[in-house]
C-alpha cells in the first residue's frame, strides 16, 4: 500500500466513523472536501438502508454528491436548526482550533458550523499540527471591491497575502468573493488574529475556526482516534 493509499484509507476511516454521529430525524450540515466525500458516501448508504435525515450542504459539489447518493437536502435558506455539522479541516491544533478553506468553501462552512448544536471535525493524521500556520496558508475571503487595499492592510500586519488563482484566473467563491491566502509562519493566538483580520473593512470571513469543535475524529494508520473538546 502506497503512502497515498494509506492517506486515503485514513480519510475513509475518519469519514465513516463520523457518519455514525448522525441520528434518525436530524438536520445535518454536510462539509466539503476529500474526507467529507467519504462521509457523504457513508451517510448515503445509511439513507438507502432507511435513515431519515435532511442535509445542509456547504458547497455545490457537496450538494451534487448528496443528491447523487440519496441524501434529501433542506431546500430553504431561511432559518436552519442544524443538529450536527460534520466537516473536515486543513489543520487542527491541540486546542481543536482549525484552519479551513483550502477548497474555497470557508464562508458557507462557517455559517453552517455556527448554526449547528454540535460540530464534528474529521481529519487524517497529517492534519494535526502543534501550532497553526505554515506550510498551510490561512484563507481569508474578501470582497472584490478594493481587494488590493484590503490586502495592503493585511500586509501592514506583517503578513504576506496572495490572491488565489486557479488555471491562471482569479478564484471566485460561490458567494462571488475572492480569497487571499495568508502565509503566516506560526499562529500561536488564533483568536487574536481572527479578531484583527475581521476588523479590516473588506474582509468577509477568515478560515480560522476557533473554539467551535466539539468532537475531533482522526484517521491514523493504527485506527480511528476520537477526542471530545473540554469546555471550560
Domain ranges of the chain: 3-129+210-220, 138-202
pLDDT band at 78 (very low <50, low <70, confident <90, very high): confident
CATH match of 3-129+210-220 with 3.20.20.80? no
Cβ neighbour number for residue 38 with a 10 Å cutoff? 25
Judged against a pLDDT cut of 90, whether residue 120 lies above it is answered with: yes
Predicted confidence at residue 87, as pLDDT, reads 98
Please tell me the predicted confidence (pLDDT) of residue 231: 59
174: annotated active-site residue: no
pLDDT grade for 1, boundaries at 50, 70 and 90:
low
Tell the CATH topology of 138-202. Alpha-Beta Plaits (3.30.70)
**Cell output for 10:** 485514513
Residue 114: pLDDT above 60? yes
Say which residues have a Cβ less than 8 Å from residue 115's Cβ, sequence separation at least 6. 29, 56, 80, 81, 82, 85
Q: Which region, left, alpha or beta, applies to residue 70 given φ > 0 means left and ψ of -120 to 50 means alpha? A: left
Candidate list 109, 141, 194, 205, residue with the active-site label:
109
For the full predicted model, state whether its pTM sits above 0.85: yes
pLDDT mean over 194-214: 97
DSSP readout, 24-54?
TT-EEEE--SHHHHHHHHHHHHHHHTT---E
The residue among 16, 54, 11 whose CA lies nearest residue 33 is 11
pLDDT at residue 165, as a whole number: 97
Burial group, residue 142, by CB count within 10 angstroms (0-12, 13-18, 19+): buried
**Statement: residue 232 has pLDDT above 60:** no
Confidence of residue 116 (pLDDT cuts 50, 70, 90): very high
**Closest CA relative to residue 99, chosen from 186, 226, 221, 217:** 186
Could you give the percent of the chain with pLDDT greater than 90?
A: 94
Amino acid at each position: 500500500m502506497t503512502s497515498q493509499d494509506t492517506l486515503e484509507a485514513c480519510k475513509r476511516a475518519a469519514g465513516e466513523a463520523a457518519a455514525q454521529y448522525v441520528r434518525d430525524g436530524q438536520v445535518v450540515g454536510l462539509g466539503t472536501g476529500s474526507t467529507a466525500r467519504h462521509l457523504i458516501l457513508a451517510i448515503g448508504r445509511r439513507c438507502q438502508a432507511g435513515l431519515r435525515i435532511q442535509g445542509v450542504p456547504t458547497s455545490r459539489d457537496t450538494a451534487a454528491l448528496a443528491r447523487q447518493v440519496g441524501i434529501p437536502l433542506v431546500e430553504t435558506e431561511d432559518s436552519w436548526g442544524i443538529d450536527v455539522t460534520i466537516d473536515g479541516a486543513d489543520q487542527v491544533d491541540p486546542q481543536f482550533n482549525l484552519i479551513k478553506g483550502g477548497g474555497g468553501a470557508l464562508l458557507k462552512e462557517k455559517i453552517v458550523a455556527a448554526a449547528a448544536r454540535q460540530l464534528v471535525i474529521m481529519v487524517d493524521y497529517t492534519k494535526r499540527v502543534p501550532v497553526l500556520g505554515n506550510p498551510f496558508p490561512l484563507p481569508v475571503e474578501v470582497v472584490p471591491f478594493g481587494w488590493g487595499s484590503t490586502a495592503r492592510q493585511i500586509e501592514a500586519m506583517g503578513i504576506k497575502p496572495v490572491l488565489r488563482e486557479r488555471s491562471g484566473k482569479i478564484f471566485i467563491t460561490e458567494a462571488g468573493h475572492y480569497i487571499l491566502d495568508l502565509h503566516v509562519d506560526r499562529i500561536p493566538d488564533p483568536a487574536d488574529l481572527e479578531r484583527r483580520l475581521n476588523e479590516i473593512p473588506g474582509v468577509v470571513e477568515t478560515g480560522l475556526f476557533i473554539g467551535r469543535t466539539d468532537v475531533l475524529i482522526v484517521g491514523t494508520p493504527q485506527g480511528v482516534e476520537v477526542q471530545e473538546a473540554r469546555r471550560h
